[in-house]
Structure 1
Amino acid sequence: MRWSALPPLNALLPFEATVRHASMTAAAQELHVTHGAVSRQVQNLERSLGLSLFERKTRALRPTPQARQLAAVVRDALDQIDAAAQQITHHTPTGPLTLSCEPTLLMRWLIPRLLDLAANVPDVAVHLSAGGGPVFFDRDNVDVAIRRDDFAFPEKASRTRLFAERIGPVCRPDLAARLTGTAGVSQVALLHTHTRPQAWDDWGRITGMKVEPASQQTLEHFYLTLQAAAAGVGVAIAPYAVVRDDLERGQLVAPFGFVRDGTGYFLLSRRPPEQDGRVRQLAAWLRAKTSRLDDDDSQPA
């Protein structure tokens, strides 16, 4: 028997869930068993291995480095088993997809297109969740996520490229009439956001243009900065994707156009599109809808 030294296999699921949640109570809720059942299985695993897997404190349960190492291997094995089962049974996942999307892109680009999604992909129900930064599919109960690649993606996440990020100054049309080159920008307020504090510096580095503003103002979120630009408060650096609709309606203008900043947006999923028809249909719709965002000719100034 090759696997005589294996730990008790029925303890691995409760153990992995406990490490992931750092809580036996949360693990028990996920597995639909009692707290006591999870505790017993974890203790059985510890006895089998001859070591403690958790630092137990009054109101905290902290996995040891050894526990995290073992849990990562168990998680990988479970993912492989799940993928193999999907392939041999040809099981088609059902139910809604939980889609996490960066908040500004969600509000200003995706939500206005939900009716089109429902009309053209009627078999896929999507639950939306605003979120940015690193993606944790299991922890956050997320199926797919739209993210910009300004951080490391999960190693095993499937990724579908959507569009390149393009940035440029935007402002209200009457304010743009006062701008004559970057010298004109120095006559108005520059708007910044906490979520992308280097946006103006990035644009200046890419274009070689330098701006000396009369004043500056920083707002907490990107969508607040863009709202201030639309209100005529000043000029903001904006991603083309999130202001495209405002440009077409004439609410904002981009006097210097847009330039690539070297990043791009991707659809990340816990399963490859070829293994999940819902993800495949959603990815196809997103690619069709975002294709114009990569097209220079579609960027009105």
Structure 2
Amino acid sequence: MPKLKDYINNNEDFKFSFTSSNSISSVYNGSIDCLISGDNISIKPGFRKITLLKCKVGLVCSCGYYKSVVEYLEPITVVNSKSKEYAWFEWCEKMNLNFENVNHIVLDTLSLALDTVKMGVGVTIAPSFIVNSSIEKNELVAPFGFHDSDCEIYLYVPDHLPLLKDRKLQNVVNHIKIPDNS
């Protein structure tokens, strides 16, 4: 989350450690204080789930790729991550669109998919908060805009965490929540 790193760097009360190997079990056993995840996890009593963000998603591609598809009616290449392999189909259904000539590439992560799309290889479906800066830099375009999705980002934390008692956790949550203005 873009604002989280800045908050942590400017607040000496927190130590930030990013890893993709932690899970809710790491919060349960106390090896980490909290978990930020896009997975909607059922939690045990004594823990809380705070919604940080309700994602808006959209189709994104490089400016050059968009122009070649629109002007020359080239087939569309969809680049998805393994974790969101069906995002394209869900997006098309939600948008009530049907594309005939579609090729699919599946990569390990959304980050790789976005890098590939920036190189002009195809389109992907991505949350607005992840691609807004690339759109501002004209690296990507979102020709259909961004629309509500089922995707949410959550903060999982034990109720006994001292941060809850002195409102520091709420300050973190308020700082890193992303406004719903895309």
In which range does the TM-score fall when normalised by the shorter chain? 0.7 to 0.9
Matching residue's letter, 2:17: H
Matching residue's letter, 1:170: V
1:138–1:288 Cα change, 3 Å: closer
Would you tell me which structure has more helix in proportion to its own residues?
A: 1
How many pairs are equivalent?
180
Larger radius of gyration: 1
Gaps spanning 5+ residues in structure 2: where? none
Q: Given the alignment, which residue of 131, 153, 176 partners 2:42? A: 153
Would you tell me which structure has more strand in proportion to its own residues?
A: 2
The equivalences for 1:122-161 within 5 A come to: 122-131=12-21, 135-136=24-25, 137-139=27-29, 141-149=31-39, 151-156=40-45, 157-161=47-51
| Cα deviation, residue 152, structure 1 | 2.9
Q: Decide whether the 8 Å contact of 1:172 with 1:253 is kept in 2.
A: yes
Distance of 1:212 and 1:265 partners within structure 2: 33
Q: Decide whether the 8 Å contact of 1:269 with 1:279 is kept in 2.
A: no
The equivalences for 1:74-89 within 5 A come to: none
The equivalences for 1:1-301 within 5 A come to: 109-110=1-2, 113-119=4-10, 121-131=11-21, 135-136=24-25, 137-139=27-29, 141-149=31-39, 151-156=40-45, 157-180=47-70, 184=73, 187-271=75-159, 275-276=162-163, 280-292=167-179, 294-295=180-181, 299=182
Q: Decide whether the 8 Å contact of 1:267 with 1:283 is kept in 2.
A: no
Distance of 1:220 and 1:278 partners within structure 2: 40
Please provide the CA RMSD for this pair.
2.8
Q: Decide whether the 8 Å contact of 1:188 with 1:214 is kept in 2.
A: yes
- Normalising by structure 2, we get a TM-score of 0.82
Q: Higher relative contact order at CA 8 Å, sep ≥6: structure 1 or structure 2? A: 2
In structure 2, the residue matched to 1:87 is none
- Partner SS for 1:128: coil
> How many percent of aligned residue pairs carry the same amino acid?
19
Distance of 1:228 and 1:239 partners within structure 2: 16
In structure 2, the residue matched to 1:59 is none
Gaps spanning 5+ residues in structure 1: where? 1-108
